[in-house]
Amino acid sequence: MTDLRSSEIHDEFDGDTLHEECGVFGILGHADAATLTALGLHALQHRGQEAAGIVTFDGKQFYTEKRMGLVGDHYTDPATLAKLPGFISIGHTRYSTTGEVALRNVQPLFAELEVGGIAIAHNGNFTNGLTLRRQLIADGAICQSTSDTEVVLHLIARSKQASSSDRFIDAIRQMEGGYSMLAMTRTKLIAARDPIGIRPLVMGELDGKPIFCSETCALDIIGARYIRDVENGEVVICEIQPDGSISIDARKPESPRPERLCLFEYVYFARPDSVVGGRSVYVARKNMGINLAKDAPVEADVVVPVPDGGTPAALGYAQQSGIPFEYGIIRNHYVGRTFIEPTQQIRAFGVKLKHSANRAMIKDKRVVLVDDSIVRGTTSVKIVQMIRDAGAREVHVRVASPMIFHPDFYGIDTPDRDKLLANQHADLASMCRYIGADSLEFLSIDGLYRAVGGTSRDPQAPQFTDHYFTGDYPTRLLDQEGASNVRKLSVLASNG
């Protein structure tokens, strides 16, 4: 929520992509806690590729390892895991939607408080994080990071409640926004989800030990059993008792609100093999393609996905339309950041570093190009041109989600409103000319709702969080409302 620098940090080739929020994983009472956490974070790597951190406790003291880069670059090293002994562990994989990219912002964050040590990690964003931070600093608080999570630590420290659990609950009840959060103390693993459940969080078990993580794919990788989703507004407190047993105390809000999961979990963020909100992400994405074919049919010879996000929707489009599906674009999975100086000449190769046309499947054909979403549109321009250069007779772009008109404030790294393609053009025809396609169509909001939940959108009580399409923000945006009065935080440059 603090010093918004994403446009400066991320290279040009990533600027047309919606970046994931973060991923969290925690386990209590298991001898291999750190190793299992590392494996879980590996499964959640798609939710954040900038940094990862793990905190453990062995009955005597806390241990932490935080590294910039991918989970597999560091936590596959036995020497690293040996530095993380203990039977309680939480971990976090990060993409910086807010705050600078620096080691001090890598979660979990740890603090020694009156009630003992506590570590916290969360996925999402608080919409009043800056407002609360300003108040805390005015009261004398000293902030060491630019992460929202540090605000929660300060609120826990200042709470008048007696136990660490009650202090934690007292703190998060003051936060607004979309989040799933894990905290660990010397004996407890605590999981919490925001009041309307914008961000996902699931509960599982392995060898009788409780696990919490952002997606079910993290349970699958370690052979754990899915138990249930953490409910919106719920706080689950798992604690090791003196006899070694584990108690589980689920505290639910007195006045629960309807759940409104983020639709982009289904469109883009979650792994296709995950189950989010009781729904298969893969099936939802395939349904998006089926509904897109119904909404926007076209005469063509081949359906081609923009990999990897567009693949399930393209399969659905092909199935519904009867047009053959082919891999007309091949993705290079080994290119992340630009590995050479991005001079103007090299920028021209930007898309080809990550995607290349499969000419044999495209030449002389009318192509339906299916993508999961369009943000700025700059990548779409390059991909459409790449398909034409490969010999396509026609290129018809079909997008398996509605047009994005509004920025997000709940953990998705979106451009400013005026930089979104939908706001830069007066109509669909103008957008189509800009990206160079023969036709352009988007999935309707009702088509998306039916693909995910089976029914059309209820405008009086929307079933999902969908503000990026509709402008219907589900919570107050306190930091945005008071933006003119909130000065930017000072940031100490860091080499970490």
228 and 289 housed in the same domain: no
Q: How many domains does the chain have?
A: 2
Is 430 part of any domain? yes
Whether 432 sits among the annotated catalytic residues: the reply is no
In percent, the amount of the chain with pLDDT more than 90 equals: 74
Mean of the pLDDT values across residues 295-318? 96
- How far apart, in Å, are the Cα atoms of 360 and each of 141, 317, 326, 366, 392? 63, 21, 10, 13, 10
255 and 293 housed in the same domain: no
Instruction: Report which of residues 482 and 109 the model is more confident about.
Output: 109
140 and 215 housed in the same domain: yes
393 and 295 housed in the same domain: yes
Contact 188, 163 (CB under 8 A): no
Q: Which of these is catalytic: 22, 238, 262, 432? A: 22
What's 293's domain CATH number? 3.40.50.2020
Residue of 65, 57, 70 whose CA lies nearest to 189: 57
For residue 331, name the pLDDT band (cuts at 50, 70, 90).
Answer: confident
Q: Which domain holds residue 169?
A: 19-260
Mean of the pLDDT values across residues 413-428? 91
- 248 pLDDT more than 90: yes
pLDDT digits (tens, 9 = 90+) for 283-293: 999 999 999 99
Least confident among 31-40, 231-240, 328-337: 328-337
218 and 310 housed in the same domain: no
187 and 243 housed in the same domain: yes
239 and 383 housed in the same domain: no
Is 277 part of any domain? no
What's 255's domain CATH number? 3.60.20.10
- 63 pLDDT more than 50: yes
- 393 pLDDT more than 60: yes
d(CA 327, CA 182): 40
pLDDT digits (tens, 9 = 90+) for 186-238: 999 999 999 999 999 999 999 999 999 999 999 999 999 999 999 999 999 99
- 182 pLDDT more than 60: yes
Is 488 part of any domain? no
86 and 203 housed in the same domain: yes
Mean of the pLDDT values across residues 29-40? 97
pLDDT at 354: 77
Is 423 part of any domain? yes
- 1 pLDDT more than 80: no
Mean of the pLDDT values across residues 231-252? 97
Q: Which residue among 260, 290, 322 closes a domain?
A: 260
Is 218 part of any domain? yes
What global pTM score does this model have? Answer: 0.89
85 and 129 housed in the same domain: yes
- 340 pLDDT more than 50: no
SS (H, E, C) the chain: CCCCCHHHHCCHHHCCCCECCEEEEEEECCCCHHHHHHHHHHHCHHHCCCEEEEEEECCCCEEEEEEECCHHHHCCCHHHHHCCCCCEEEEEEECCCCCCCCHHHCCCEEEEECCEEEEEEEEEEECCHHHHHHHHHHCCCCCCCCCHHHHHHHHHHHCCCCCHHHHHHHHHCCCCEEEEEEEECCCEEEEEECCCCCCCCEEEEECCEEEEECCCHHHHCCCCEEEEECCCCCEEEEEECCCCCEEEEEECCCCCCCCCCECHHHHHHCCCCCEECCEEHHHHHHHHHHHHHHHCCCCCCEEEECCCCCHHHHHHHHHHHCCCECCCEEECCCCCCCCCCCCHHHHCCHHHHHEEECHHHHCCCEEEEEECCCCCCHHHHHHHHHHHHCCCCEEEEEECCCCCCCCCCCCCECCCHHHCHHHHCCCHHHHHHHHCCCEEEECCHHHHHHHHHCCCCCCCCCCCECHHHHCCCCCCCHHHHCHHHCCCCCCCCCCC
235 and 367 housed in the same domain: no
Mean of the pLDDT values across residues 444-466? 97
Mean of the pLDDT values across residues 336-354? 54
Q: Which residue among 260, 294, 324 closes a domain?
A: 260
What integer best gives the mean pLDDT of the chain?
88
Is 28 part of any domain? yes
52 and 159 housed in the same domain: yes
Mean of the pLDDT values across residues 102-129? 89
Is 266 part of any domain? no
For residue 5, name the pLDDT band (cuts at 50, 70, 90).
Answer: very low
Is 306 part of any domain? yes
233 and 93 housed in the same domain: yes
